[in-house]
Structure formats: C-alpha cells, structure tokens
Structure 1
C-alpha cells in the first residue's frame, strides 16, 4: 500500500468518524428534547436502534 493510499484511507476513516459523531450528537439532542420515540430518533439520525437505546441509557445514568 502506497503512502498516498494510506493517507486516503485515514482521511476517509476520519470523515466517517465525523459523520458518526454528528449523528450521535443529533440523537442525543433529540433524546433530551423528549418528543420523539427511539424509532423516530434512529430513523432521523441514521443510527441503529440499539445505539439509540444505549444513548438513552447513558443519559439516564448521568
């Protein structure tokens, strides 16, 4: 694998991590607002239902 290919791979991984973090933050805001069901939050945020439920548990334990 060339250096350029490694750079491209790391760049793409960074972009994906940023997208996931943004989706997670959006889901947290929706959960805190308390107006949407977990199913709706999963649909709008693009996160898997399991992850939305885990985020809800995290917020309840804080």
Structure 2
C-alpha cells in the first residue's frame, strides 16, 4: 500500500492562478462580512440622536444585530 504524506505534497505545490483566485475570494468575503459592522459604527451615533435612545440601548441594538 502506498503512503501519501499530505504535508510533503502541500510543500511541493507552487502558488498558481487557482490559489490566487481562492485568496482573492476569501479576502472579498472577509471585506463583505466586516462592512456591516463598519456601517453600524458609522451610523449608530446618528440613530441615537434621531431615535433619542441612550448608549445602553444602542449597545443592545448593536449586540442584537451582531447575533443575526
């Protein structure tokens, strides 16, 4: 029976176009995932003023949005 060592096989691989596509896809996913939290942080002070809510209530709102 032939033994395959995965770590050696990975070490021998060269970085090619496929790996670049995977890397760029992962970066895009991470950016999209973080965008909603960035926008919440930018908009939350305006919402607090307009809705007349306290910082505790705004924190609770933000926590509930993070769980979604």
- TM-score normalised to structure 2 length: 0.50
Q: How many residues align?
A: 47
Runs of 4+ in 1 over 4 A off after TM superposition: none
The structure with more radius of gyration: 2
Q: Which of the pair has the greater relative contact order for Cα pairs under 8 Å at 6+ separation?
A: 1
Unaligned ranges ≥5, structure 2: 1-14
CA RMSD of aligned residues (A): 2.5
Q: Does 2:28 align with 1:11? A: yes
1:30 alignment counterpart:
47
- TM-score normalised to structure 1 length: 0.53
Matches for 1:46-61 after TM superposition, within 5 Å: 46=63
